[in-house]
Amino acid sequence: MTSTEPQVALSAPVGGVVAEVFKPLLTGSSRFAPAAGLRTGSSSQPSNPADARVRRVIAQVSNQYLRRYLTRYGTLRIPGIARPVSLETLYVPACVKGQPSLQRLMAEVLADSSSSSLQHQRQNFLPAALVARSQQYLSVLGEPGSGRTTLLRWLGLESFKGKEGQYGHNCIPVYIDLRMLPKGTGSLAQSVVLEFQAANFPWPKAFTAEALEQGRLLLLLDGLDEVAETQREQVILLIEDLVERWPKNRFVVSNAVATQHHFKRFTSAQLTALSDEQVQTFIQRWFGRNPAVGRQLWETLQLPAQANTCELTRSPWLLTLLCQTYSRSRSLVSHAVGLHHAIVRIGLASQPGLSAPALKVQLKALARLAAGKLQQQRPIVSQAEILGLLKACQTVEVTLDCSELLEGLTAHSGLLVEFAPGHYTFVHPALQEYLCAWQVVAHRSRGSLTALVRQPLEVPSWQRVLLQVAELLPEGADELLLSLQSEAMSRLKAKRCQALLLWAKQLTDRLDSPERSVARRAAALHLALSFALERSVSDQAACCLDRVALQARHLSQGLARALDLNRDLALCLSSAQELAHNDLFALDTPALLSDLAALGEPPDFRAGYARRMSFADAFVNLLLRHLQLETNLLQLGEAEALELENFLQTSTLLQNCREVASRISPEVQRQLNEQMLVA
């Protein structure tokens, strides 16, 4: 491992920004000065803001703020490494997908032939730093483990360098972990105040207000997707309020793709998976003191037999774990669950002088903690809670010092991080999810998996836990899968929704094997839902149907890949000829082709709106007649659309669990093929 020392030094621009914010406060010209007791002629106010004593105070608090940022946000905690690792030492510049709103920037980058990342840009990728530099309001999207948090913290480091840094703006970075906001927080500005107060800024409230007023802050708002479901809407309102009240500042919000919120003014950019070049650069930096081992790892990853392992390296978090496990064992793990299993053991084993019983107690306590906090959707745990769990996990025969066990977990293992004095979080949400899955599997009993699927399955973290449970179950995932199928059916109660599933079954079941019929049923549902969306008269229902149709499309494509059906099952409404010629559905092909020919070519735009709409109605009615799809089944209201959304969401989770399950009996496979997407 390379240096653990922070690489950033305070640059003059940041100190200058702090001085510019203080200036109107000290002269009394700021409208926030009176609230801080600063008035012209006040004895507490220096007569000259530029005098030596004031400059010393500004330099002192600026340095304190920088050191605090470096300590809290400029380092990485890695399980198995006692000391934090400098973020700049390992950071590999991230890329984002070029969104339509970024096309002008993309064109400028492509015109720059000197760019070192030209290959990525030709693939519609852009350097994340360049996008952040060009966009005052940026929403960074990414899957868990894609490096969103690391990117935001790195942008903060670069902003300390002023215009000389890659961020390129003179502003003060303020990093706020949104999941850590106290329940009932009334303003994000108060969280900003606390950051300056912790660095001993004079008059932190007035300083914050003046900095926001001048537009001097870079607000890094991290982890919107990890905020509890019950609080997320409130946090979104707080962000929107902050932007509306203080629009001169720069904002970067991170969120998951699945839970993205379209903020007004914001440009969205999605992080891309790491390229081969980025993976190789990261490995070189990790093994900077032992380059031969780094080359050995890279060469091993290029072997065809390591294709699955190589795929894991596309995630920065999993790549970090892979390098850590390889540096210890010189062996590779080919799946994410195995990596998390190995890293937990490495973290526990890195504590000096602890016995096997002590490590066992720590593992039990961590697993129980992970499961409990995931259920509560609360990432923060108090010292008292951890000590209580460590005590509860001990046996009568073995009595251990709980304080020493906690010290080992926080100071040496790297599995827990102290967020604030006496308060802790897991080093990464993915590690917490693995430990929760381990807890479920290790303490399963008759009926416990059935109870598990009644958790809020719409929460992405629970979906990921269930996937890991399916992979970890040593006896196979039969009970889990059947429970998910039963849960999916329990979510579908409306008669119109049930009739729609019956139609899809009748349209597809006569064609071939049951397992292929599942994929065809999903494709039929997508087609029907697309028709329903076109006919929807309610905005709320249309919005929901749009999501449901997309879910059905993704499910049909996933089933098609799993079953080697080499065609796109999700058809567009306009591809009537393809619908007639393919064998997806049981249709009278000659009759359909004859009716299409009789209908003729669609009129062009010169024919007038009424004629074009008349043709479109005739075309849709023709397809509905051949599909034997009654129009009353398409009159879905918002409540029915929400039911279908929940049903398809659970069915998709079921299919994903099938794909990763450790083992499934032939009987259960047959049962699922017959029952999935059937009312």
pLDDT tens digits, one per residue of 302-325: 999 999 999 999 999 999 999 999
pLDDT at 384 (0 to 100)? 95
pTM, whole model, 2 decimals?
A: 0.87
Which residue in this structure is represented by tokens 């599995």? 415
Q: Regarding beta strands 75-76 and 125-127, do their DSSP bridges make them parallel or antiparallel, or are they unpaired?
A: unpaired
User: How is residue 580 written in tokens?
Assistant: 């007639």
The distance between the two most distant Cα atoms of the chain, rounded to a whole number of Å, is 95
Single out the residue of 467, 472, 482 nearest to residue 442, CA to CA.
472
**How far is Cα 550 from Cα 536, in angstroms, rounded to an integer?**
16
- Cα 2 to Cα 40: distance, rounded to the nearest angstrom: 52
Say if residues 429 and 619 touch (Cβ distance below 8 Å).
Answer: no
- DSSP string across 26-94: HHT-STTTGGGT--TT-TTS-S-TTSHHHHHHHHHHHHHHHHHHHHHHSEE--TT-SSPEEHHHH----
Helix axis angle, 539-562 relative to 638-660, nearest 10°?
A: 20
- Condensed to tens digits (0 to 9), the pLDDT of residues 476-508 reads 999 999 999 999 999 999 999 999 999 999 888
Beta partners for residue 334, in sequence order: none
Cβ 217 vs Cβ 211: under 8 Å: yes
User: Which pLDDT band holds residue 378 (cuts at 50, 70, 90)?
Assistant: confident
**Can you give the pLDDT at residue 49?**
57
> What local confidence, expressed as pLDDT, does residue 615 receive?
81
pLDDT tens digits, residue range 30-54?
A: 888 777 676 644 444 444 555 778 7
CATH of domain 73-270: 3.40.50.300
Q: What ranges do the domains of the chain cover? A: 73-270, 276-334, 347-473, 488-675
What mean pLDDT is predicted for residues 96-113? 67
